[in-house]
Structure 1
Amino acid sequence: MEGVTVVDHPLVQHKLTLMRDKKRSTKGFRQLLNEVGMLLAYEVTRDLPLEPVEIDTPVATMQAPQIAGKKLVLAPILRAGVGFLDGMLTLVPSARVAHIGLYRDPETLQAVEYYFKAPSDLADRLVLVLDPMLATANSAVAAVDRLKERGARDMRFVCLLAAPEGIDRMRGAHPDVPIWTAAIDEHLNDHGYIVPGLGDAGDRMYGTR
């Protein structure tokens, strides 16, 4: 599917299966989301540009590669997107963090913003927008809208599960924002949940209902 990368690494798929199991504890779910976040970050940053720098090893001076340009911005959509954050920051500890507070109106399923805080120079940075579930994509589209308003030009959306309906909506609204996901599930149900999915990622992560 154009613009969509499914990360089929065996470790990602194995951990996703563990997370889908409704018997998984809150602690276990949260730990797995953290681990999968790290693995997805590894995949989504695979093509970052490098530049040579001169360093002194204990033996000699050499030209060695380092990541070029300004540091990444990780932009989790609250609440559930925060579940990816620790794992990704372990891999990229110097990344900046933006926070996007959105909740889904239970009647309309539309995204309602309640908080937004981001670095001022988004235009100069690669922004990874994080949310475990791409279901209706209303929150994802709203988050990318806001980030673009603040100047972001280079963005990638990272999720754990995606529904075909969410992918179509996201690609239609923001065809310039590629999507990375661990799986594309069957469809959305009448309540906007991914089927077979894993339930509400935020509730399972925090033990709420």
Structure 2
Amino acid sequence: MDIHVVDHPLAASRLTIMRDERSNNAAFRAALKDLGSMLVYEASRNLAVENFECQTPVAVATGTRLEDPPIIVPIIRAGLGMIDPALSMIPDAQVGFIGMARDEETHEPVPYLEALPEDLSGRTVFLIDPMLATGGSLLNSIELLVARGATDITAICMVSAQKGVDALEDSGLPVRLVTAVIDPDLNEHAYIVPGLGDAGDRLYGPRNIDL
């Protein structure tokens, strides 16, 4: 499996703001927006392009555009925070949705929403979620995409745990990973250590309904 850790000082500075427990919801969202744009930028590096003639005020230049923009698929709820930065980079991308809740006792993902094109054959999919912890939600989501024919899947996660990375590698599923960092461990509640806490709560406030 191809793993790309974005080692850049600006990415590291935004990640630090997200890690800092003193950062409020607004500061966390702003840092996530910046870091999300950086990760999508890196994930897009090898997308196929087509060239065309572009008239400048002076002469004709060679223009470039994406041949087939990817489908952006956030894993709800924390993944919702990455939609805007992804679309700021790729404004003509389609968007699908996968809903996964976490069972706080078993730490296993519980699917509750799937809004995707029926056929993903031949399409590039960017699966976005701020956190890759055990890998359960991501693997579940990748299996849904593969069932619809997807074979070109890039998972974009801001913070990844080594356990989740290992789970992706061992799965044999067609996925590559773009992340800002790989943290070494999980605690007894399956939160990434050192991590940044619950990304959904830090984006939107504590969850007050059961999904």
Q: TM-score, normalised by structure 1?
A: 0.94
What SS class does the counterpart of residue 16 from structure 1 fall into? helix
Q: Which residue of 2 aligns with 1:16?
A: 15
Q: Map residues 54-203 of structure 1 onto 2, 5 A cutoff.
A: 54-68=53-67, 70-203=68-201
The superposition leaves residues 97-123 of structure 1 with CA deviations (integer Å, 9 ceiling, x where unpaired) of: 010001111222211110000133422
> Per-residue deviation at 1:153?
1.4
Residue 207 of structure 1 deviates from its aligned partner by 1.2
Tell me the residue number matched to 1:5: 4
Q: Is the 8 A contact 1:185 1:197 kept in 2?
A: yes
Deviation at 1:47, TM superposition (A): 1.2
Secondary structure, counterpart of 1:167 in structure 2? helix
How has the CA–CA distance of structure 1 residues 80 and 174 changed in structure 2, closer, same or farther, with 3 Å as cutoff? farther
Q: Deviations over 1:1-22 (max 9, x none)?
A: x521110111110010011010
Q: What TM-score comes out, normalization by structure 2 length?
A: 0.93
Q: Distance in 1 between matches of 2:104 and 2:172?
A: 24
CA contact (8 A) 1:77 1:102 kept: yes
List runs of 5+ in structure 1 lacking aligned partners: none
Q: Deviations over 1:28-63 (max 9, x none)?
A: 111211111111111110111222223333333344
Percent identical across equivalent pairs? 43
Letter in 2 for 1:205: L
Contact 1:97 1:119 in 2 (8 A): no
Question: In 1, are the aligned partners of 2:72 and 2:128 still within 8 Å (CA)?
Answer: yes
Instruction: Structure 2: state its 5+ residue gaps.
Output: none
- 2:198 alignment partner AA: D
